[in-house]
Amino acid sequence: MKFESRIFGLLAIPAVAGMMLIMAEMRPGYFSNVTYLSALLLLEVVLAAVWHYEKWFFLVLMLTFLWAGSNLPLYGAGSAVRWVFLAVGAVVGLVKWAERREQQHFSAIHLIALLCVFSAAVSGMVSTQMPLSLLKSSSLLLLFLYTSCGARVAIADRQAAFFKGLLTACEVVSFVAGILYLSVHYEIFGNPNSLGAVMGVVIVPVLFWGILIDERGHSSHRRIVALCLASYLLFASISRAAILGCAVAVTVMCIAARRQHLLLKLAFFVVLFGAAAAVLQPAQFDALASSLSEDVIYKGKPEEGLFGSRKSPWQDTSDVIRESPWFGSGFGTDRQLAGTAQSGSIFRTIGGVTKEHGNSYLALVQYVGLVGVVPFLLLIGLVLHMIYKVSSWLRRTGNPNHFAVPLAFICLAGLIHAFFEDWLFAVGYYLNVFFWTSAFLLWDLRPKVPQASPLVRAAWKRTPAGPAPIPLSANR
């Protein structure tokens, strides 16, 4: 089958090239139009990503969403392109899932996700901004369809390669972001909160897990440097939500893996550094301590208290919930802003239609109401249950060499971070796509047999010829 597909690909290349030449001869204006050329380039990238769906599509999808949410050139075009890739990924993933010989059956998490989509659609039907709310509900459907089919197909037979690539990608992001922020002073993620979210929810937990699996050689040293750089960027972002979520995830990971000595070493070095700074330069140490207290803890507003920057959006969201408590204002919309401008691109949220809520869970209650929030709460509760199961398994075995471990602590850091930022169900945000992909993959990879433990290091090496394959997950 693979040989036939390669022959077809080789024959298709000259055929397409000939058609392009004929089209250029008959309609030369098409090839001088920037819009047509951009659409042709997009089509080529989509076809190439679909051709290597299992290997490259997830990476291309995440790069597209990252492009749309960053300060990279032409990020406005990325806002439209990301939905094309999400729709293609969902449809192609469904087809490939149906064609698999080893069927991956739908289960509880997929049924609950479908109920969440129905709830979002119902809230949109009773919303004063029904077209916008239904569009956002459809984006939620595409996301859950991709995570239920496409992402599972991509990782089904290549867990070791996927997680090795994930570690490498986190190292690359850490080094590139460090160079851009520290040397060039270019804020690629747009604002400090986005920088903190990426580093605290994804990069630091994954790199820390990479250190826990105790690989030897240059990769281990490189990973330690990348982790230190990512930790510095997380602290420099002054994002309290990201710092808290990352700290809880790393602490729980250490305790569950029986590596409490790492926390003690870290605390020792922090105290040692602080004591040395206080003795050598007491004035600068006092200024630094005062700055940390005001900027990190109080966000520059000590008179308003610890949550002063969140009180106003929390109060506004609570007021809207009281006005429409049962079915909400419509998924992804705000009822009190219904009179704002309705023109704009369907691919991008119109400015002024949404506002900051400061809490993903409050925003969700406002969107779908107390009735519609039930399936979403079940979905979040199921993710928390999986995190607990992975932590319990890790505590019993003390072996972090399992692919479910990084996914569990990405989800833990994300759920904590979402308590202070409203991105958990904002499908257009790249962190949202990565989080829910991790959650659905965690359902498939969670350890089901406590005594079995996959060998990550052995799986990443070349498998010797023999009748017994090396296990890649606890149930394989």
Give the residue-averaged pLDDT of 78-90.
86
Query: Which of residues 15 and 47 earns the better pLDDT score?
Result: 47
Mean pLDDT of 421-429: 86
Instruction: Report which of residues 156 and 295 the model is more confident about.
Output: 156
Burial zone of 304 (CB within 10 Å; 0-12 exposed, 13-18 middle, 19+ buried): middle
Q: Give the CA count within 13 Å in the CB-facing half-sphere of 288.
A: 11
- CB neighbour list of residue 222: distance below 8 Å, 6 or more residues apart: 171
pLDDT of residue 113: 92
pLDDT for 261-296, tens place per residue? Answer: 877 877 777 677 666 656 665 665 555 555 555 555
Q: Is the pLDDT of residue 8 over 70?
A: no
- Residue 321: CB atoms within 10 A of its CB come to 18
pLDDT at 52: 84
Sign (positive/negative) of CA torsion 166, 420, 237, 246?
negative
Q: How far apart are CA 198 and CA 65, in angstroms?
A: 13
With a CB cutoff of 8 Å and minimum separation 6, the contacts of 471 are: 452, 454, 455, 459
- Enter the DSSP assignment of 336: G
Q: Which amino acid is at 23?
A: M
- Alpha-carbon distance of 355 to 173, in angstroms, equals 29
Q: How many CA atoms lie within 13 A of 280 on its CB side?
A: 6
Asked if the model's pLDDT at residue 131 lies above 50, the reply is yes
Give per-residue pLDDT as tens, 194-243. Answer: 888 999 999 999 999 988 886 666 677 888 899 989 988 888 888 888 88
CA–CA separation, 425 vs 123, rounded Å? 14
Burial 111-135 (b: 16+ CB within 10 A, else e): ebbbbbbebbbbbbebbbbeebbbb
Quote the CA–CA distance of 37 and 241 in Å, as a whole number: 42
Distance CA(128)–CA(263), nearest Å, equals 51
Q: How far is CA 298 from CA 192, 240, 292, 302, 310, in A?
A: 16, 9, 9, 5, 11
The single residue listed with the structure tokens 């429409």 is 324
Per residue in 161-203, pLDDT (tens digit) is 899 999 999 999 999 999 988 888 888 887 888 888 999 999 9
Higher pLDDT, 363 or 469: 363
CA atoms within a 13 Å half-sphere pointing along the CA-CB vector of 220? 8
The 10s digit of each residue's pLDDT in 290-346 is 555 555 555 555 555 555 556 666 677 777 777 777 777 888 887 544 444 343 444
The pLDDT value given to residue 54: 85
Report the pLDDT value the prediction gives residue 53, as an integer from 0 to 100. 86
| Every domain of the chain and the residues it spans | 112-449
Indicate if the pLDDT at residue 30 is higher than 80: no
Angle at 95 between CA 437 and CA 20, to 5 degrees: 105
Tokens of 365: 């209650």
Cα distance between residue 415 and residue 428, in whole Å? 18
Q: Per-residue pLDDT for 416 more than 90?
A: yes
Higher-confidence residue of 318 and 476: namely 318
Alpha carbons within 13 angstroms on the beta-carbon side of residue 469 total 7
Q: Which residue, 190, 133, 468, is CA-closest to 330?
A: 133
Tell me what percent of the residues of the chain surpass a pLDDT of 70: 69
Average pLDDT (401-424) is: 91
**Higher-confidence position of 102 and 43:** 43
The model scores a pTM over 0.85: no
What is the average per-residue pLDDT within 254-259?
88
Q: Give me Rg for the CA atoms of the chain.
A: 24
